[in-house]
Amino acid sequence: MSGKYATETLAADKGGIGHAAEILRAGGLIAVPTETVYGLAARADSDIAVAKIYEAKGRPSFNPLIVHVPSKRAASTIAEFSPHADALADAHWPGPLTLVLPRRRDARLAAAVTAGLETVALRVPNHPVMREILALVDFPLAAPSANRSGYISPTSAQHVLSSLEGRIDGVIDGGICSAGLESTIVAVRGDGSTQVLRPGPIEFTSGTGGAAARGMIEAPGQLASHYAPGKPLRLDANRAESDEFFIGYGEVSGDCSLSPSGSLEEAASRLYGCLHLGAASQKRRIAVAPVPEKGIGRAINDRLRRAATPPD
């Protein structure tokens, strides 16, 4: 950005949320808690506001943004809903599901939101703070994760400030995010089929990631290197080397544990918190114990594999 911001930490109460809505109306940037991770919100109908998101995050321009709306009715003014998309929205909204759908030609969105694609990624969140903000403003919110692009996603206000302090207007401190992993992203194709573009808290059985494999990014979270802690990351480790911060799971203990009891849901909620601790430690590297490739463990391992992949 052209100059430093004085980043405010706002309470998750009527006053703080009202002040955040005023900043958003004026085209500012506010980090907001959701049930998944903290999102960096700006009005999605403003080219200038959306450009600020990309600049604050250092996000590549080809990577589209998720648009957050208060309801399926609001979403239908932005995208075309097939009967199958309707059914998915009815079953999972509000909640951690993002649908990639054909964008309506009359949708009032900044061009950069969809990164030149004819589709748009939409979500109706289920966090009370984000829902209250959406009720106070009369525009949709573009809100990718509130962190520098490619780095560990934030599940607390402090995580946000560790990478974006001075680059955004404010963050609403709503505590720790409950799910801890970004939303599941599902594309609904013209023939009625679905494709999981990013695994997440809601499980589907269709194929994953085909668009990214073909070299086209259709939605956030498809880059090969992402969620990185800034240190080498070794996966499926049963013990730590002397220079490694060790993240345990189940019976395998460590400096931090995803879940001593072996709960995959707890592991998902603690994943980014443990990676943040490892990144801040004095150890040169990070190692992570094996996590079962089942249930939400598939999404956990997806994030870990991308975090372990060196950037190009």
**270-305: pLDDT as tens digits:** 999 999 999 999 999 999 999 999 999 999 999 999
The pLDDT of 165-176, averaged and rounded, is 97
Q: What are phi and psi for residue 221, nearest 5 degrees?
A: 80, 10
Split at pLDDT 50, 70, 90, the class of 213 is very low
The closest alpha carbon to 52, from 127, 146, 131, 133, belongs to 146
Of residues 24 and 222, more confidently modeled: 24
Determine the pLDDT at residue 208. Answer: 47
Split at pLDDT 50, 70, 90, the class of 171 is very high
Query: Alpha carbon of 290 to those of 114, 155, 249, 294: distances in Å?
Result: 36, 22, 7, 12
Its pTM stands at: 0.92
pLDDT digits (tens, 9 = 90+) for 219-249: 777 777 778 899 999 999 999 999 999 999 9
CB-side exposure of 82: number of CA atoms within 13 Å?
14
Q: Tell me the two tokens of residue 24.
A: 């958003």
Q: What are phi and psi for residue 115, nearest 5 degrees?
A: 50, 40
CA quadruple 146, 151, 155, 161: dihedral sign: negative
Determine the pLDDT at residue 158. Answer: 97
Determine the pLDDT at residue 215. Answer: 52
**Would you tell me how many other CB atoms lie within 10 Å of the CB of residue 75?**
23
The pLDDT of 129-148, averaged and rounded, is 97
Query: Alpha carbon of 243 to those of 127, 286, 304: distances in Å?
Result: 39, 8, 19
The closest alpha carbon to 90, from 73, 69, 107, belongs to 73
Q: Is the pLDDT of residue 312 over 80?
A: no
Determine the pLDDT at residue 212. Answer: 44
Q: Which of 2-11, 96-105, 208-217, 268-277 has the lowest mean pLDDT?
A: 208-217
Q: Please state, rounded to an integer, the average pLDDT across all residues of the chain.
A: 93
* Torsion angle in degrees (nearest 10) through CA of 112, 70, 126, 217: -20
* Sheet with 233-234, side-by-side order of all strands: 233-234, 285-288, 244-248, 256-257
pLDDT digits (tens, 9 = 90+) for 181-194: 999 999 999 888 99
State CA 179 to chain mean position distance.
11
Determine the pLDDT at residue 61. Answer: 86
Determine the pLDDT at residue 292. Answer: 98
Q: Which of 2-11, 223-232, 301-310 has the lowest mean pLDDT?
A: 2-11
Q: Is the pLDDT of residue 214 over 50?
A: no
- Measured CA to CA, the distance from residue 311 to residue 228 in angstroms comes to 9
Determine the pLDDT at residue 209. Answer: 46
The pLDDT of 189-202, averaged and rounded, is 91
Determine the pLDDT at residue 216. Answer: 67
Q: Is the pLDDT of residue 46 over 60?
A: yes
Q: What's the Rg (C-alpha) of the chain?
A: 19
